[in-house]
A and B are shown apart, each in its own frame.
Chain A
Amino acid sequence: MMLGKIRVPMFFSLFLWAALWEIVGQSGASFIIPPLSVIFTRIAEIVPTASFAEALWITGKAFLLGNLIAIVAGVPLGVIMGRSVIADRIFLPWVNLFLSAPLTALVPVIMVIFGLGETTIVMTVVLFAVWIIVLDARAGVRNISPSLVEMARVFGANPWQAFGKIYIYAALPEILSGIRLGMIRAVKGVVIGQLLVSIIGFGRLFELYSSRFLMEHFWALLFVLFAFAFTLNEVLAWLERKVDYYAAARH
């Protein structure tokens, strides 16, 4: 957007929204919308506290562990599906199904099996993240140019060399893309899991604030969470762009 001769980048509109929020908040129009400035002070208050650090630790642990499991289980499965027609035909309908199914409905199942603890959160993260990882790993393998495969054979590469030196790099952009999308879904998973379990991590904090109607603290926590999610997304996208430099030239 242009203001006269100056190009104003898109994200500047957020400042306008922030100003609007502040005005609405100060006017006291609705108790669920406290002024932005107060929310930011609360952020400064709660972030250094021990309970926040603990919640962050629990959430972070579950998030990372869940993603790790999803990657370790998902990438090989995707690769197998990409290379074997039989495996593909057997598993693909299920992967597609779980990709668009409301996985939230399965969280109660996880809760009754694994109890109301960290394990459930980890399993929820795995559940949310794994399907897109499988699908993208599969896509990466299927997209390996046949010419590269032929090249490997013509120059006498054995299967391990072919895989380690060629295929994995050829499929890497898609695999990384899948991992990134998986992490975004994992964020939603970890939040949903904690909301439903509500006695650990951020879920516990949310429960605490909402039961005492501490709207400002609630929003403060939300902002922190959203900021994490956004930053994570941007960092991963940046990483992906770094690896992607050769993605377009593969075919």
Chain B
Amino acid sequence: MQTSNSTPALRADRQAGPAAARPARQAGPGPSSAVVVPSPSLLGQLLSHPLFLRLASVVIVFGAWEYAGRVPISPAFPTFLETMDALFGLIADGTLLQAFWITLQPLAIGLFASVVVGVTFGVTMGLNRLAEWFGAPVFIIAQSAPLAALIPILTFAYGIGLTSKVMTVCIMAMPVIVLNSLNAVRHTPASLLEMGRSFLGSRWQVIWKIVLPAAAPVIFAGLRLGCAAGFIGVILAELLITPTGIGDIITYNQSIAEYAKMYAAIFSIIVFSVLFIELIERLEVTLFRPEKRAAR
């Protein structure tokens, strides 16, 4: 995959740049001559065992957190253990669950709308040149623009309730979904299209049986990016419009200097979003990528 081919705005959502067709999922060593391989002694083998390293990685980062909290680098920086303690407290007394319930509503509605509308727009634009001519520039600009700045306007238009939060999620998530879908459909391999025509497929047959399945991987990549953007949207909405749910826990505890609880809430939403996006990836692999299923 070449760096110079795609338009810059479309590339903005191809996060990992040229090295991977799917963003941010690189694992394993690269070409052997460019990589330093540790010595094959027993200690060396232990140190480079994947499981050990994964554990070590987690321990190092959380350990650093704990240390930084004890120093302390700031009075507003609780230790890792303190944060975990607060987290369990919030889970135990049900506050966290309630908060998630409230926060996830605009997220779910917004993401659902963004996916349905976004994929439809994107695919339509991919199949129809006129639609692309009208729609693509708008989304390309939206792609590189800091859309978060539009949130106050949304508040003016829709008030401070659920609607404006849903709209926030939508404006953050839709551009990348639309552009990925558009891109995916436009780049259907030409020989597959020819094959469909040569075996007398009608236009609809070719779209349903060839174009869409071929486009699925890139559309899903867009969904993953869209969901990540949607999470940013909902958090921004809660911090900027009115705090409810998780945003409420964060801002309230911030205001009363209960930093452990504040951090715990932030930790929980980050973990949740990561798991959610991982789930989407699993879904994609199961449904559409037999070759990746085999590689697992």
The chain A residues found within 8 Å of chain B, CB to CB, are 1, 8, 10-11, 13-14, 16-17, 30-32, 82-86, 88-97, 99-109, 112-113, 132, 135-136, 138-146, 149-150, 173-174, 177-178, 180-181, 184, 187-188, 190-192, 195-196, 206, 210, 213, 215, 218-219, 222, 225-226, 229-230, 233-234, 236-237, 240-241, 244, 247-248
Contact = CB atoms under 8 A, between A and B. Distances in A.
A104 B235 CA distance: 7
Given A84-B36, A99-B24, A225-B149, A247 B144 contact: no
Interface string B153-194: 100110000000000000000000000000000000000000
Nearest to B266: A105
B12 A101 contact: no
The 10 closest A-B pairs by CB, nearest first: A142-B30, A139-B19, A237-B8, A191-B146, A89-B53, A112-B76, A102-B231, A1-B133, A146-B33, A90-B57
23 contacts: A32-B157, A83-B34, A84-B35, A85-B36, A93-B54, A94-B57, A99-B24, A102-B228, A105-B269, A108-B250, A112-B74, A135-B17, A135-B26, A139-B19, A142-B35, A144-B34, A146-B32, A174-B18, A188-B146, A190-B146, A195-B240, A206-B152, A244-B3
A17 B141 CA distance: 13
Contacts of B214: none
B138 interface: yes
Contacts of B277: 100
A158 to B, nearest CB: 16
B47 interface: yes
B54 A89 contact: yes
Contact of A86 (B48, B77, B129, B138): B48
Contacts of A218: 152-153
Nearest to B50: A89
Given A96-B26, A135-B26, A190-B146, 14 more contacts: A14-B137, A17-B138, A93-B54, A100-B23, A112-B74, A113-B73, A138-B26, A141-B30, A143-B19, A149-B34, A177-B11, A191-B146, A195-B152, A210-B152
Nearest to B234: A102
B218 interface: no
A32 to B, nearest CB: 5
A229 B33 CA distance: 40
B211 interface: no
Nearest to B56: A90
Contacts of B35: 82-85, 142
B31 A100 contact: no
B30 A143 contact: yes
A145 B31 contact: yes
A32 B156 contact: yes
Contacts of B16: 99, 132, 135-136, 139
Contacts of B235: 102, 104-105
Contact of A139 (B20, B37, B50, B129): B20
- Which residue of B135, B239, B251 has the most chain A CB atoms within 10 A of its CB atom? B239
B203 interface: no
B116 interface: no
Given A96-B25, A112-B254, A150 B4 contact: no
Contacts of B232: 102-104
B270 A102 contact: yes
A8 B57 contact: no
A85 B57 contact: no
Contact of B262 (A112, A139, A210, A248): A112
B141 to A, nearest CB: 6
A222 B134 CA distance: 22
A219 to B, nearest CB: 8
B34 A146 contact: yes
Given A85-B38, A113-B74, A181 B30 contact: no
B27 A92 contact: yes
Given A86-B53, A113-B73, A139-B26, A184 B38 contact: no
Interface string B266-281: 1001100110010000
Nearest to A241: B4
B61 interface: yes
A108 B33 CA distance: 43
A145 B19 CA distance: 13
Nearest to A103: B232
Nearest to B51: A89
- Which residue of B61, B152, B259, B277 has the most chain A CB atoms within 10 A of its CB atom? B152
B266 A101 contact: no
B148 interface: yes
B57 A32 contact: no
Contacts of A105: 235, 250, 266, 269-270
